[in-house]
Amino acid sequence: MSAANDLGPVAAAPRASGVFRPWPGAQALRQFRRLGDVPVDNLRRQLAAQPDLWDRHTRRKTAPGTPHARMSDIWVRYQDDRFFRAAGDWTGFNDRHVPVWYPAWHRLPALRPIIFSLMAAVEAEMLCGVLITRIPSGEGIERHADDSWHVQYTDKLYVSIESEPGAIFGAEDGLGIECLAPKPGEVWLFDNRLPHWVENKSQGDRITLIVCVRTEMFGRPREGASP
């Protein structure tokens, strides 16, 4: 992103790739950018059939002061947490790293076409964190802004898996508040360095796949060897 309060210029638009289809319409929001759509029915069924996948790793919802205490998640890809769990010390867990697959990746094969289609569509050079979140009816994520190496290094793509009217994703920049209520299958780009929150006042769960990628498409500073 070109700035923490601006989605910035797009060097190129995402292209059709695999199961991903780009959004051809105009962009009506400042803080959220509609990228396209992917099919999510298979992933939804696989999640429903394996409830034991949720909350196997609870660091996000139990850390002191966490805004994520009222939700559940599935870690699919991130820093290997085994050393940190064994040491009982999470210092540096969000620092620079090469991510690894967690066991959920092998139990949710419907993730593969979605993730690799998204990577091709946005010309990603690296796949970083992958997370699935679930916010039950009546729960939410508290207002917060993220900041870590991972946040600064990657762009975050949100894929709605389940969402009903009343589940609202809110964000605020210097010009005001915007709210998003995505439909299942929609893919959105959002800069989570902005203050943001979620309120699920719907009658069902709100489930979202979050795919973090390194790409130059949305204005991140380039990295490379010196000329």
Calpha distance 216→4 (Å, rounded): 16
Give the per-residue pLDDT at 219: 86
**Could you read off the pLDDT of 42-90 as tens digits, one per residue?**
999 999 999 999 999 998 898 889 999 999 999 999 999 999 888 989 8
Closest CA to 91 of 83, 100, 103, 99: 83
Calpha distance 155→191 (Å, rounded): 7
For the full predicted model, state whether its pTM sits above 0.85: yes
CA 63 to chain centre: 19
Give the per-residue pLDDT at 224: 56
Low-confidence ranges of the chain (pLDDT < 50): 1-6, 8-11, 225-227
Structure-token match 């205490």, residue found: 69
Give the per-residue pLDDT at 10: 47
Query: Cα Rg for the chain, rounded, in angstroms?
Result: 17
Burial of residue 9, with CB atoms counted within 10 A of its CB: 0-12 exposed, 13-18 middle, 19 or more buried = exposed
Give the per-residue pLDDT at 12: 66
Considering the segment(s) 30-214 as one domain, its CATH architecture is Sandwich (2.60)
Q: Record the tokens describing residue 49, joined without a space.
A: 């059939």
